[in-house]
Amino acid sequence: MRQRQRILTGDRPTGPLHLGHWFGSLANRVALQQAGNDLIVVVADYQVITDRDTPGSVRERSLGLVLDYLSCGLDPVGTTVFAHSAVPALHQLLLPFLSLVSTGELDRNPTVKAEVQAAGRRSVSGLMLTYPVHQAADILFCKADLVPVGRDQLPHLELTRTIARRFNERYGEVFPLPTGLLGEAPSLAGLDGRKMSKSLGNAIALSDDADTVAAKIRSARTDGERRISYEPGRRPAVANLLTIAGLCAGVEPAVLAEQIADGGGQGLKRVATEAVNAFLQPLRERRAGFSPAEARQLLERGAGRANELAHDTLRQVRAAMGM
Ligand code: TRP
């Protein structure tokens, strides 16, 4: 393994990043970068059209995503961040990779199944079925060592390893096998108890201002019991707010519950609002220091480097395949 590890991960530009992203993956990205590793982030704009017909204003959302990254403390100089659509050679890896997986394997992917269901669609597009292979190209084009992700992405990572292994067996050693890295909270629930998600409207965005956070938490469900306790099985709504507050404050949810005790649902919401706002404040301050023009520049520089890496890998792939 290289001494300086290569970290690759990414997001779809479908809306603002939220607390689930932070505790699932972003915190690890920042820590790994600060430890001196090489961080590459893909703005997966071609992945937007997996579960929707219209991509929306992808360009703007991509810039918003980059501003989200910068607000998290990613290095505005040392981070390689690029959009899928700016790196054509990456997508060419999809052809040999598709030949290495069976339709049965694609059909069984639990994350794809869940996304098809969430999108409420009667038919599944070819891209929806194959996007995990596309994601393997995202990861393998730069020969990543580590992939910080939320739990829902692990099936894609397993498939990526399978593809790398099969390619190497069939054509000779080209790809290292990447390892997935789960965050502190690999799957965080949103304010309605379902998985925190951009599309479910139950998320606290990293870019939310203090009033928005307060309003969202005010309207979250609790239960009728006066005394606050941390019992995820019996009191999921209360436990969920305690989890969010605890993660933001760096305190165990059970300890928070004891502190709130007879403060009831109102006390819980006050503590949660304060914890989330205190946590987000430094992000808000950092974000205010960057402009969309700087985000655009970062993407341009990132695309330059990503294109070099992708061409290099594609050249090796063609050579290995005897083309
Ligand atoms: N599928 C990921 C998501 O929806 C985004 C993504 C695209 C990604 N390419 C990636 C994640 C490569 C990790 C590695 O969040």
pLDDT tens string 124-177: 899 999 999 999 999 999 999 999 998 999 999 999 999 999 999 999 999 999
CA of 10 to the centre of ligand 1 (A): 5
For residue 123, what pLDDT band results from cuts at 50, 70 and 90? confident
Average pLDDT estimate for 243-268: 97
Q: Which of 6, 7, 47, 157 is the pocket-test mutation for ligand 1 (most atoms within 8 Å of CB)? A: 47
For residue 25, the SS3 value is helix
For residue 120, what pLDDT band results from cuts at 50, 70 and 90? confident
CA of 218 to the centre of ligand 1 (A): 32
The ligand 1 atom at the shortest distance from the C-alpha of residue 149 is 13
The ligand 1 atom at the shortest distance from the C-alpha of residue 12 is 5
Average pLDDT estimate for 5-22: 96
pTM of the model: 0.94
Q: Dihedral (C-alpha) 139, 143, 149, 153: value to the nearest 10 degrees?
A: 40
**CB of 62 closer than 6 angstroms to any ligand 1 atom:** no
Q: Which of 17, 127, 153 is the pocket-test mutation for ligand 1 (most atoms within 8 Å of CB)? A: 153
- Give the helix/strand (H/E) hosting 82: strand 80-83
pLDDT at 2 over 60: no
The position carrying tokens 């395949």 is: 321
Model pLDDT, residue 161: 98
At 291, give phi and psi (nearest 5°). -115, 160
